Amino acid sequence: MKIAVYPGSFDPFTNGHENIIERSVKVFDQVIVAVAHNTTKKTIFTVEERVEILNEVFKNRDDVKVDYFEGLLVEYIKKMGTNVVLRGMRTVSDFEFEMQMALANKTLSSELETVFMVTDSEFSHISSSVIKEVVSLNGSASHMVPEIVEKRLREKLLRS
Ligand code: PNS
């Protein structure tokens, strides 16, 4: 069984992330969406909230599993019995960071392979900072995030 781990902050999870997952399950038998629990990074949603949202989005899919990890990604990947990390790339500006991360991970674990998938062009403009700004100014983010994400973002950002 070919398993890929798709790690990220997913704060929030976007239609661009969903696009990568929908396409990657045609290449891999199972995709594990792994939410990074980074205690030093300030996030809108807690790791539990992000996992809960993702579980809701993928509740009807057997080929997508939702999980979280702490610490080094390479250790988590090994624990999941695979050597494949999947990352989406939106534009050329993503490339530098992604390449650095892929090389750092390869240094930490030589058998690890990073597979990149280019996000479909209609999603390439979507970023978490744009989404946060639009929602905090009471605009519609329905073309950028799944319905449940928009609802939960409104609850968080427009609460006060
Ligand atoms: O969605 P993001 O924020 O671009 O995801 C980045 C993430 C979480 C995949 C990356 O920061 C990561 O793998 N963090 C875990 C710590 C780690 O393994 N660092 C070394 C590789 S750079």
Ligand 1 first shell, C-beta below 6 A: 7-9, 36, 72-73, 101, 104-105
pLDDT of residue 115: 98
Q: Is residue 48 part of a domain?
A: yes
Instruction: Please state, in angstroms and rounded to a whole number, the distance separating the CA atoms of residues 51 and 68.
Output: 7
Q: Is residue 72 part of a domain?
A: yes
Q: How many domains does the chain have?
A: 1
Q: Is residue 74 part of a domain?
A: yes
pLDDT of residue 75: 98
Instruction: Please state, in angstroms and rounded to a whole number, the distance separating the CA atoms of residues 85 and 77.
Output: 8
Distance 43 CA to ligand 1 centre (A): 14
> What letter does residue 144 receive in the DSSP assignment?
T
Strands 84-89 and 113-118: parallel
Q: Is residue 149 part of a domain?
A: no
Nearest CA to ligand 1 atom 13: 73
pLDDT of residue 59: 97
pLDDT of residue 96: 96
Q: Is residue 144 part of a domain?
A: no
Nearest CA to ligand 1 atom 3: 9
Domain holding 115: CATH number?
Answer: 3.40.50.620
Nearest partner of 127 among 13, 6, 22, judged by Cα: 13
pLDDT of residue 153: 97
Q: Is residue 66 part of a domain?
A: yes
Q: Is residue 154 part of a domain?
A: no
Entry pTM: 0.97
pLDDT of residue 18: 98
Q: Is residue 91 part of a domain?
A: yes
pLDDT of residue 41: 85
pLDDT of residue 160: 59
pLDDT tens digits, 60-89: 999 999 999 999 999 999 999 999 999 999
Q: Is 41 tagged catalytic? A: yes
Instruction: Please state, in angstroms and rounded to a whole number, the distance separating the CA atoms of residues 160 and 75.
Output: 40
Tell me which residue range forms the domain holding 108: 3-124
Whether 128 and 14 have beta carbons less than 8 Å apart is answered as yes
Q: Which residues in the chain land under pLDDT 70?
A: 160
